[in-house]
Amino acid sequence: MNAYLVRIGVDQAFGGWNAPVDPATGEFVYVPIPESATEFHPTCCRRLKEFQPALEQFCSLRHIDLHADLRCDPDTFNQPIHLDPDFGYLTYGDDGSNRGAGIKTLIDGDMLVFYAGLRPVSQCGHKLLYALVGVYVVAEVVAVPSIPPDRWHENAHTRKVKHWAHDIVVRAKTGVSGRLEKCIPIGEWRDGAYRVRNDVLEAWGGLSVKDGFIQRSAVPPSFLVPEKFSEWLRQQGVPLIERNN
């Protein structure tokens, strides 16, 4: 088995804010990054406003302000988003010649593990809560140019008119893949950066990055012993859902 740890979701570098999490319950809202493309295939453009109801409900239940407390600019709701991964279709796209070169080699039964830097809405000891938010068990990896028009709507890399020549889309297995119903905290601020906690690193069998660094990486780190991670994840007992929120 091979497995990669992939950072996703809106953050300070891509979007200028962080999606919310309730550290007491693990409930969170998945919010994708903004989309840089301006041309999309017909009916394929996805916009931030479809995530607005989930954000507003989350905030209303906790008596916080989406704009003042989370710093989400209301003018961005009509902005296109790079919805990737799309947990509704169980897809994830990447550049198979660069950042996603390792992901391109994944085969049936391998894994993609998604994490995000989320903004806590109550005290939790960290400015950001780094946590797992989704898991894919790979069914297949396909080249974007080979995907027919009737499946363009399934992923951010095929929704837009222009894409890189080596882009790929991962399709995950239903029933064992999806967004985590509640996030699983894994990070802490250590030695000047956000890193995977030492106890979690030990339980996973280690990552390919030095000292569990997860604050930002050009290439997704791989799990050194994916089988240990898979068993650890099973023990967490968190259900998976096949939708974005």
Domain that holds residue 51: 3-241
For 20-44, b where at least 16 C-beta lie within 10 A, e where not — what string?
A: bbbbeebbbbbbbbebeeeebeeeb
> How far, in Å, are 9, 111, 133, 172, 175 from residue 72 at the CA level?
14, 32, 20, 31, 33
pLDDT tens digits, the chain, 245 residues: what are they? 999 999 999 999 999 999 999 999 999 999 999 999 999 999 999 999 999 999 999 999 999 999 999 999 989 999 999 999 999 999 999 999 888 999 999 999 999 999 999 999 998 888 999 999 999 999 999 999 999 999 999 999 999 999 888 999 999 999 999 999 999 999 999 999 999 999 999 999 999 999 999 988 789 999 999 999 999 999 999 999 999 99
Q: Give the three-state DSSP class for 84.
A: coil
The strand pairing partners of 40, in sequence order, are 160
Domain count, the chain: 1
Write the pLDDT tens digit of every residue in 154-189. Answer: 999 999 999 888 999 999 999 999 999 999 999 999
Q: How far apart are CA 93 and CA 103, in angstroms?
A: 9
* Chain segment 222-237, per-residue pLDDT in tens: 999 999 999 999 999 9
